Amino acid sequence: MELCFATNNTHKLAEIQALLGPEFTLRTLSDIGCHEDIPEDRPTIPENSRQKAEYVWNHYSVNNFADDTGLEVYALNGEPGVISARYAGPQRNADDNMAFLWQRLAEENQPLPTPARFVTVITLVLNGNFHQFEGSVEGHIIATRRGTHGFGYDPVFVPEGRDKTFAELSMGEKSQISHRARAFAKLVAFLQERRAQ
C-alpha cells in the first residue's frame, strides 16, 4: 500500500518506515510535489494533526497521514504541548527548546527530574474519510542532555521504566515503547484490517 506521510523530516520518515514495514511504501511531501509550508496553527495536537492531513488531501487528492507530537510537562500545566517544536521561538531549534524548558521549570521552582509525557496523534485520510490514532508514553524530564540519537526533546526525556533517555536508545529500542510507535501500531492495525476485508 502506498501512502503519503505529510512530512519532509528524514528522521521521522526513517522511524515510521521501520515501524510500518515493507508492505507499505511511504512517499514524502516532496514526492507528491508539495513544497509549501503546511499550516500548523490549531490550538490542540489532534487539531494540528488533522489540519495537515486535510491540507494534503484537499490540495493533492492523495491518501495520506500526518502526525503531530507534543511534550506535556505536568508542572507547567501541559507546556510546551502543541507548540513543542517552536517553544523557544520560530527557529524550531531543539537546543533552544530544551534550554527554554529548563528555564521555565526554574521560573516555577520545579525540581528535576519532573514528570512529563509525550503524545502523538496521527490523522489518516483514506478516500476522504478521516481517522485518528493516539499514542502516549509517560516519563520525566532530567537536568542534563544525554545521548545522540533521536531528535527534539529526546536527550532530556527518560521514559517510564527505563534509565536511558530516548536519545540514548537505539531506533529499535525506541520504536518498541515510544508514543509515536504506539500511535502507529494502531494505524498499522487499522490499515491491515482494511486490507484484509
Sign of dihedral through CA atoms 182, 129, 196, 23?
negative
**Residue percentage of the chain with pLDDT more than 90:** 76
pLDDT tens digits along 19-68: 777 888 889 999 999 999 898 899 999 999 999 999 999 999 999 999 99
Report the number of distinct structural domains present in the chain: 1
Please report, for the domain that includes residue 151, its CATH number: 3.90.950.10
Given a contact cutoff of 8 angstroms between Cβ atoms, the answer to whether 141 and 105 are in contact is yes
Selected catalytic residue, list 31, 37, 41, 68: 68
The number of beta carbons lying within 10 Å of the beta carbon of residue 59 is 13
Is residue 68 among the annotated active site residues?
yes
Instruction: State pTM to two decimals.
Output: 0.90
Nearest to residue 34, comparing CAs of 57, 11, 51, 2? Answer: 57
**Residue type at 195?**
R
Asked if the peptide bond before residue 111 counts as cis, ω within 30 degrees of 0, the response is no
Name beta bridge partners: 26.
3
CA 53 to chain centre: 14
Domain containing residue 87: 2-196
Query: pLDDT of 16-28, one tens digit each?
Result: 787 777 888 889 9
